[in-house]
Amino acid sequence: MALTAAPAEARQWPEGRRAAVVLTYDDALPSDLDIAIPALDAAGLKGTFFLIGNALLPEQIARWRAAAAEGHELGNHTIRHACPQTNYPPARKLDTSEAYDVPMMLAEIRTMNTMLTAIDGKLQHSFATPCGQHLAGGVDYLSELRASGLVRYTRSAGWPGGEDPMDVPCRWFDEKATGADMIAAVKSAEEAGDLLVLGFHGVGGDYLKVSAEAHAQLLAYLKDHSDTIWVAPFSTVMDYVTSHPEG
């Protein structure tokens, strides 16, 4: 995500840092609570966790509330995580985006916002599109979501992308990725003066995972370079980006 006013002039980040990195985690997975959050806390870093409503367990609520109280961001990833039919086996038609229409999707996002407020007490939440797409019944709902005011910022799953705060690109790494692979992406962002949003599902467990070791190596690098790299939750960074449109 090249957030520069001109190719030769890099964006200015807080306290003279050269780049911004956002660490995002999807789906309210057990490894978020058991591995990712403890690792972030140990490094003194804060992440953004996009929660799915129907993945939340009652016994986890206190832990998510505590994470939010410690400065981690809880974001909206809908209630049912409706994706295109091609992403699911035929038996899950109820959960496909084809089974929705735009009013249904916006109602679900509104309901998930209410659930998040009950956990963290905040009235505004960011959003991550399920499976990186914003379709409901084959209709793109992004413009209506934008007009609704339900969310200010939306993270997509595509990379690279543009500068729309309602469709922010995100870079992902697969199970074979090493800490060096992720650190190389950070170094590229630092050289360009860019924002880098990183996306994770499982960390050391669950699915679409990266190893706990690779994740820990990334966090160690970010901690060691905190004087040049700004690491903050998604909404915090996007607040800064939208209030400082200049490079």
pLDDT of residue 5: 34
pLDDT of residue 1: 43
> pLDDT in tens for each of the 247 residues of the chain?
444 333 446 688 999 999 999 999 999 999 999 999 999 999 999 999 999 999 999 999 999 999 999 999 999 999 999 988 888 776 567 789 999 999 999 999 999 999 999 999 999 999 999 999 999 999 999 999 999 999 999 999 888 878 899 999 999 999 999 999 999 999 999 999 999 999 999 999 999 999 999 999 999 999 999 999 999 999 999 999 999 876 5
Please answer whether residues 101 and 133 qualify as being in contact, where contact means their C-beta atoms are separated by less than 8 angstroms.
no
**Can you tell me the distance from the alpha carbon of 87 to that of 41, in angstroms, rounded to the nearest whole number?**
33
Q: Among residues 10, 27, 126, 125, which one has the least CA distance to residue 83? A: 27
Does the pTM surpass 0.75? The reply is yes
Dmax (CA) of the chain: 52
pLDDT of residue 119: 98
Please answer whether residues 200 and 25 qualify as being in contact, where contact means their C-beta atoms are separated by less than 8 angstroms.
yes
DSSP 235: H
